[in-house]
Amino acid sequence: MNSKEQIEAIILAAGYSSRAHDFKMTLKLGDLSVLEHTLSKFERICNRVIVVGGYQWEKIAELVSQIQESNKYSMEIKVVFNKNFDQGMFSSIQRGCREVQEPAFFITPGDYPVVNKQTIQKLAMGQGHVVKPSYQYKGGHPIKLSNEVKMKILVADANSNLRQILDTYEKHYVNVEDPGILMDIDTLEDYKKVTKYFIKSLK
């Protein structure tokens, strides 16, 4: 289950970004948006990436359209709208899962832009229903899930959450030297930290 023909990815980009005081998917790191950085890490690993939008849907759709038109990526990039985005992240997870066709898939919030691509390659090789990266004994994103987990997500109550479902499975951790798996952008302070880390990684 490690060829790109067998793995897709869901990127969750439907949230309000309220704590960031800006629309974080369109924030820039260097020449690319936060969303494109996150998306780019799945190139040549996944055959398709599904971006789930909601809040400020037009901005997400336009951003994905620009990424598609750049022809920089060989994978298919699909953007879908979650009309229930105001009900929380799990509704976006369910929306994304409805699009997944392959036996395994990654899932990650869109605001993890500095994950190392080698981390995702290692996760792709991992076996099990739930495969998670771990840095210094802390689990992060993205996670890789099986079709069986997808089916449980799809039939779950809308008030459920991903953690409840994953708690019913043994988790397989992949240890990585990649602090990026823990670095999301919830606040402007987070954005400054991620930007500093990104600039340092270029040197």
pLDDT score, position 159: 87
Mean predicted confidence (pLDDT) in 69-97: 94
In the chain the first and final C-alpha atoms are separated, in Å, by 34
Summarize pLDDT for 125-138 with one digit per residue, the tens. 999 999 999 999 99
What's the number of domains the chain is made of?
A: 1
d(CA 47, CA 5): 5
- Phi/psi at 105 (nearest 5 deg)? -155, 150
75, 4 Cβ separation under 8 angstroms: yes
Residue with tokens 């919030």: 109
Summarize pLDDT for 43-57 with one digit per residue, the tens. 999 999 999 999 889
Q: Is the dihedral of CA 45, 48, 54, 59 positive or negative?
A: positive
What CATH number corresponds to the domain at position 167? 3.90.550.10
Mean predicted confidence (pLDDT) in 182-198: 94
d(CA 61, CA 69): 12
- Beta bridge partners, 173, equal 132
Q: Could you give the angle at which helices 147-155 and 89-97 cross, rounded to 10 degrees?
A: 120
Mean predicted confidence (pLDDT) in 13-22: 67
Domain carrying residue 27: 4-201
Is 50 exceeded by the pLDDT of residue 2?
no
